[in-house]
Structure 1
Amino acid sequence: MPPSKLALKIGCPIILLRNLASYQGLCNGSRLVVSHLTDHVIEARILSGNYAGKLVFIPRITLTPSTANLPFVFKRRQLPIRIAFAITINKSQGQSLKHVGLDL
């Protein structure tokens, strides 16, 4: 489950946590930059891949935890994104970047 409190600003890099529309380039691990914010939808620009530079909309989706052993169904409507100022080595494989920072 993504974090419940998300503070975003325009120009913030984000990473997608779910496959929303693979035919539009919205796959798990896609990097985007926020261009416009509303309460229920985020407009973002794709950073890498075949669809780089394309504007897309990311809606809120219903998420349910798979490991909850509760007597009721727990659902939460939220955006399937996470802030991506840094990404892991596994997610960065296959991407070409102009500038790279290394924190030792």
Structure 2
Amino acid sequence: MANLNKNQSSALDAVLSGHNVLITAGTGKSFLISEIVKTCENQGKIVALTCTTGIACSVYTDMTLKANTLHRWSGIEDAPHKLWLKVGAVILLRNLSNKLVNGIRGDVISISEDGPVVDFHSVGIQAPMKKIQFTVFSLRDNKDIAVREQLPLKLAFAITIHKAQGMTLDMVEVDCRGIFKPGHLGVAMSRARDFCGLRVTNFTQRACMPQPDIVKDFINQPSQTFSEDLSCCQETLR
């Protein structure tokens, strides 16, 4: 087992004891989560490592961890059954390398019988695209129950804030009309490398939604004292 500090070791022990644990930013959480997954698997437990975005999955570079987006893990795939492409903007739907990750945007520069060539200018890579396997995962059976092949691309002249999480972009235009949750605007604006590359359109005060009190209360409350019968993990925030 890798060297964990005192707090990380306590968190690992809590998970192994069956407790729910919230690991916040700035605590070495990616490293700790990797160790939790490996330790649980070594003990014969079935573990699923899920992330909200493909960018977040790419943090876990150890391929044995099999990090998946929630959509992919739950059997919901993004790959279209019928894909229409032309020279222009597309978005990548699957992590292909440490640089070519789910959500990165590129431009189709040519199309041939062998497939399209895409220029991912943000990472300085031009790559021919080949079909890959997309699967449907069954939570009940804990296995893939369907497999098909498709190019990991989708037309995208814009991307959602959700898809953009974790990206650092030179040029960003944020359209506020679709914002419907607290934190959306902050996540979108923080994708820009600096203010010179940021433009915000259709802004209204409604886009600056405060977090609900239940979220603030949850973040600010002290850690629970662990109970051996796990009753501490069954309490709800009121």
- 1:8 aligned residue: 85
Greater RCO between the two (CA within 8 Å, min separation 6)?
Answer: 1
Flag the structure with higher helix content.
2
Aligned length: 96
- 2:175 aligned residue: 102
Match 2:159 to one of 78, 82, 87: 87
Match 1:59 to one of 114, 127, 130: 130
Structure 1 length as normaliser, TM-score? 0.73
Q: In 2 relative to 1, CA 58–38 (structure 1 residues): closer, same or farther, beyond 3 Å?
A: same
Is 1:35–2:109 an aligned residue pair?
yes
With 38-47 and 25-34 compared, the bigger mean Cα shift is at 38-47
Match 1:77 to one of 149, 163, 168: 149
Instruction: Please tell me the residue identity of whatever aligns with 1:60.
Output: K
Q: Give CA-to-partner distance per residue, 1:51-104, whole Å, 9 cap, x none.
A: 23x31122101111114879x942211111111112112406521217x37374
Is 1:19–2:95 an aligned residue pair?
yes
Unaligned runs of 5+ in 1: none
Unaligned runs of 5+ in 2: 1-76, 178-238
Which aligned segments of 4 or more residues in structure 1 are displaced greater than 6 angstroms? none
Q: In 2 relative to 1, CA 39–64 (structure 1 residues): closer, same or farther, beyond 3 Å?
A: farther
1:29 Cα offset (Å): 1.3
Flag the structure with larger Rg.
2
Instruction: Please tell me the residue identity of whatever aligns with 1:84.
Output: A
Flag the structure with higher strand content.
1
RMSD: 2.7
Structure 2 length as normaliser, TM-score? 0.35
Q: Give CA-to-partner distance per residue, 1:20-53, whole Å, 9 cap, x none.
A: 122xx211111110011134432110131xx23x
**Inter-partner Cα distance in structure 2 for 1:95 and 1:38:** 30
Q: In 2 relative to 1, CA 37–103 (structure 1 residues): closer, same or farther, beyond 3 Å?
A: farther
Task: Determine what percentage of the aligned residue pairs are the same residue.
Answer: 30
Q: In 2 relative to 1, CA 26–3 (structure 1 residues): closer, same or farther, beyond 3 Å?
A: same
**Inter-partner Cα distance in structure 2 for 1:68 and 1:62:** 19
**Inter-partner Cα distance in structure 2 for 1:68 and 1:76:** 18
Instruction: Please tell me the residue identity of whatever aligns with 2:130.
Output: P
Q: In 2 relative to 1, CA 88–36 (structure 1 residues): closer, same or farther, beyond 3 Å?
A: same
